[in-house]
Amino acid sequence: MTFVYVLVSNEKDTYYEQTMISASSLLTHNKEANVTIIVDQGTAATFTGKRTFHEKLGVKICEIQVPEKYNNRDRSRFLKTTLYNYIDEDFLFIDGDTLVCDELKPTFNEDMSIGMVLDRHQKISESSYKNFYEKRALPLHWSCGFQDMHFNSGVIWVKKSPDAQKFFDEWHKLWEETLEKYSVVFDQTALNEVNARLGGIVKEMDGTWNCQATRRSSFIKYLYNAKIMHYYASFGLNCFDLADKDIQKTILDGTHEKLDAIMANPKIAFSSVQDVNADLRSVKIQRTAFYRAIVFVYKRCKPAYNFIDKICGLFIHK
């Protein structure tokens, strides 16, 4: 069984560290696993000094020449939408900002050429992100999903087959076309459009294969049995401890007690205070534009937020 990562990184980011952490957790639970990390030429050139940790893991590096016109973000999308071409057997693709929590033994149906987990573990009609999906898809005259399903590309099961080849060919073509015509980088939106065009080639995997620890999702019901945790490192302030870039960087150091503690039991590696909106009223409020406006003010203008909060405090008890 082959497990595949895509990595485009330099010394200014922590994508290398994230991928090394994920691959380490994978090999802890799957000691005989074959791991391939697909990189571009720019990333390969940075593999010196501490950035040779992958050699300790014994993983395979597959260097692909990506057109120089792409920046690092688009190089990553280029590799992800073409990765089918670089692997000769069935494989499981895993995003770098993940932790593997268990032995991985895919036993999917024979007719599953492509498998993924629903985005945020929710049908489109149930999701607070429905408007977000539509906002990205409709201006491009795309569908935001197929049969009420919008899939997350953080974990992808791929069975080598003509159907899978066609899926990746169409995905790359559509991503490339929209990048050049509209300068958008909606690779997951493109993925779901391709799924719709191909009549639902993507089959739903159980949520434990990509337990997405993020807000406004239904990940808690999959957490206990999670095989792979997806913690969204790019979201900045995050409830999952490993989203802290300073902790990520320690993978390349000799000792890393905080990182070891997280990897030993990732299912409890959350911040000390979690607000579970058991009344459901707060959940509905968090799905409104008004709530998003409050978050926007909090992030962009803290003094204004503090002033509004103080005024509200005069009339409403916290």
> Please, what are the domains in the chain?
2-268 (3.90.550.10), 281-313 (no CATH)
Q: Give the closest residue to 205 by CA, choosing from 119, 304, 276, 306.
A: 119
Report the pLDDT averaged over residues 124-147: 93
> What is the C-alpha separation between 242 and 148, in angstroms, rounded?
32
> What is the C-alpha separation between 166 and 159, in angstroms, rounded?
12
φ and ψ at 97, to 5 degrees? -85, 60
Report the pLDDT averaged over residues 7-29: 97
Q: Is the pTM of this model over 0.75?
A: yes
Q: What is the pLDDT of residues 217-251, one digit of tens each?
A: 899 999 999 999 999 877 666 788 999 999 999 99
φ and ψ at 158, to 5 degrees? -130, 120
The rounded Cα 202 to chain-centroid distance in angstroms is: 17
Of 58-62, 234-238, 290-294, the poorest mean pLDDT is in 234-238
Residue that has been written with the tokens 């019901």 in this structure: 221
Residue that has been written with the tokens 């260097």 in this structure: 63
